[in-house]
Structure formats: C-alpha cells, structure tokens
C-alpha cells in the first residue's frame, strides 16, 4: 500500500553514475564525456580542486580587488563568442552570472 511497486530510472543512473569515476581519472585535467542527449551543453567536464564532482561548461573570469572577487564574465568553448559576457559591441545582449554568486549546496 505504501511501497513503490516499480522503479525505473532513465536518466540519473546513466548521467550521475557515469560522472562518478574513480579519482585517478579526474587527475591531470582529464576530460570525461557524459551522455550528450541529456546534458549536451555540459558535455565537456573538467575536474577542479575540492571534493566531489565539479563540472564546468563555463569558466568564470574576474579579478580580485580589495579582498573581494568580482566576477566579470565567462569563457566557454561550447558557445559562440558573442554569447560570452562582456561589453564590446560584437557581443550579444545576453549577460550571465546574475544568480549563483558565492553559492553552495542548498541542502536543507
């Protein structure tokens, strides 16, 4: 009555288990490719320092001033240059990075 009768997972085990590789595969900036039809924009995966799984499609750039980090934009090889944030006239009107500043797990 209370119990789930049947469980099928079509996405999560493929993507997450696929990403959860042994540490040695993450070393030296090795790239790992995950299922393209589900997380296509994130198909290039890099490991950064720190525990757990980190992956970036955009790499933020910015500067330190007076002890504070100011994010000014993103670089990404996955999208057109005009989509990267910036102020010159060739770039599109899209800006990014307005959510998620200094964010960490929302775990509650």
Cβ 29 to another protein shortest distance, Å: 17
Do residues 83 and 75 make contact, with C-beta atoms less than 8 angstroms apart?
no
**Residues whose CB falls within 8 Å of the CB of residue 8, separated by 6 or more in sequence, listed in order:** none
Is 75 a binder of another protein (CB under 8 A)?
no
Q: How far apart are CA 32 and CA 19, in angstroms?
A: 8
Is 56 a binder of another protein (CB under 8 A)?
yes
Q: Which residues bind another protein (CB under 8 A)?
A: 1-5, 7-13, 15-17, 19-20, 38-39, 41-42, 50-58, 60, 74, 76, 78-79, 83, 92-101, 103-108
């Amino acid at each position: 009555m209370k119990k789930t009768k049947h469980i099928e997972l079509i996405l999560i085990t493929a993507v997450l288990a696929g990403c959860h590789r042994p540490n040695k595969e993450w070393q030296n900036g090795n790239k790992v490719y995950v299922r393209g039809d589900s997380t296509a924009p994130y198909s290039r995966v890099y490991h950064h320092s720190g525990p757990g799984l980190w992956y970036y499609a955009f790499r933020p750039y910015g500067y330190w001033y007076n002890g504070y980090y100011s994010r000014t934009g993103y670089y990404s090889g996955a999208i057109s240059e005009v989509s990267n944030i910036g102020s010159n006239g060739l770039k599109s009107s899209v800006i990014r990075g307005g959510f998620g500043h200094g964010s960490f797990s929302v775990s509650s």
